[in-house]
Structure 1
């Protein structure tokens, strides 16, 4: 019953309802007293048995006032909540806008980074190819170089026939293209080679003649007339095919000299391949 009355108060306004109830209560009280302030005997007994309506009305009025104050407080809190919600929504929108701008900027920076990375990768690929070519050339080209002296035995010759000089004292023989057993250099690859030779003759009765021979054909020859401390030297650059042979030759009736000072030498090396 109180809940219905409270809802009625909230719908109509508690002051109007309470006023109406109070007016009704006054009428009832007047009727009970009867006319000019006299108490109606018929109703006296009935009124004495009824609850204290005025006390209940006053209590109800307090309840309604409390509810009204609570409703006002809730309205205020709801208004504050709405304001906070609107502010939060505004902040969320600002964050969304900021995130969108940052995403656009990040995408642009990522594109720039990808472009730079692609350029770097292309450059690295090019460098790797160049390095690969260099490494292939370096690894594919044999290292060929030799240098040797003739002997410590001093006089060589004279002989009745041409002989191949065998330089037995090896200083360098990278690639083992020169044989200290035969005295012959064999080209391991097609390319351009450099050769140099020196020789000394000390005989006063025999001249010094020395030849550089390629595949059995003389390339050059150096000679001196009989005399003490004859000295010759020369150099040549030759293009050789694989298997071509180079050696030094002492013609018949000639004499060469060498000792621990290494006067008579034969050297050569690969300049580049073809």
Structure 2
């Protein structure tokens, strides 16, 4: 009911009352009713405003809930991808690396000798435990592409150098023959594809000799570049 309708109804009511009781004071009664109607109309407007505000709030809450649900789904997806990545990294990227020198302490002349295998006693790093400091052998824990490098140092009285042996096959070598200079040093490197269990070691040339001390002149290093993919 709007205000105009309410006023007309009040006027009609006043006419009826006046016809029945001529001594009734109409202005006070009319004003009281009119004030009541105005208050009711104002309250109805407030109720309508509150309802609209609640509708808008519900829309915003629903939008916020949808956004939070989307973000949760994204987080769950990222978490799953991260777990999968960790599994893949753990499966296809094992860590294998070693770096050693011949002499653990003091000065060491190796050779000439019958057992020509060089056993590197000073271990700088042996990640994955592929190198055995008791035998001088590196055994590949996993298949893949490996990089190896070694340096040999010796004096001019003997052939100075070493041969890298994979299983029983010669791969690469360093070599310095007997010469007039005081000392010789040489380095070589190679990239090899190894299967799990393949072994590598360094051995002297026949009648060869190398030298090492705390300065690490004669060294052997290798590491896994990437494993073999299935």
Determine helix, strand or coil for the equivalent of 2:142.
coil
Comparing both structures, which one devotes a greater share of its residues to helix? 1
In the other structure, the counterpart of 2:135 is 182
Structure 2: tracts of 5 or more residues without a match: 1-18
How far residue 265 of structure 1 moved from its aligned partner, in angstroms, is 0.3
- Which of 194, 209, 212 matches 2:161? 209
Distance 2:85 2:202 in 1: 35
Determine helix, strand or coil for the equivalent of 2:217.
coil
1:133/1:225 CA distance change after superposition, 3 Å: same
1:209/1:199 CA distance change after superposition, 3 Å: closer
Distance 1:209 1:195 in 2: 16
Instruction: Name the structure, 1 or 2, with higher relative contact order (CA <8 Å, separation 6+).
Output: 2
Structure 1: tracts of 5 or more residues without a match: 1-10, 15-67
Determine helix, strand or coil for the equivalent of 1:127.
helix
In the other structure, the counterpart of 2:199 is 245
Contact 1:160/1:253, CA 8 A, preserved across alignment: no
Distance 1:94 1:241 in 2: 84
Determine helix, strand or coil for the equivalent of 2:222.
strand
Determine helix, strand or coil for the equivalent of 2:131.
coil
| TM-score under structure 1 length normalisation | 0.65
Comparing both structures, which one devotes a greater share of its residues to strand? 2
1:198/1:102 CA distance change after superposition, 3 Å: same
| TM-score under structure 2 length normalisation | 0.76
**Deviations, residues 9-51 of structure 1 (Å, cap 9, x unaligned):** xx9869xxxxxxxxxxxxxxxxxxxxxxxxxxxxxxxxxxxxx
Count of residue pairs brought into register by the alignment: 206
Contact 2:108/2:212, CA 8 A, preserved across alignment: yes
In the other structure, the counterpart of 1:158 is 112
CA RMSD of aligned residues (A): 2.7
**Deviations, residues 112-139 of structure 1 (Å, cap 9, x unaligned):** 2233223322332333233223433444
Contact 1:194/1:236, CA 8 A, preserved across alignment: yes
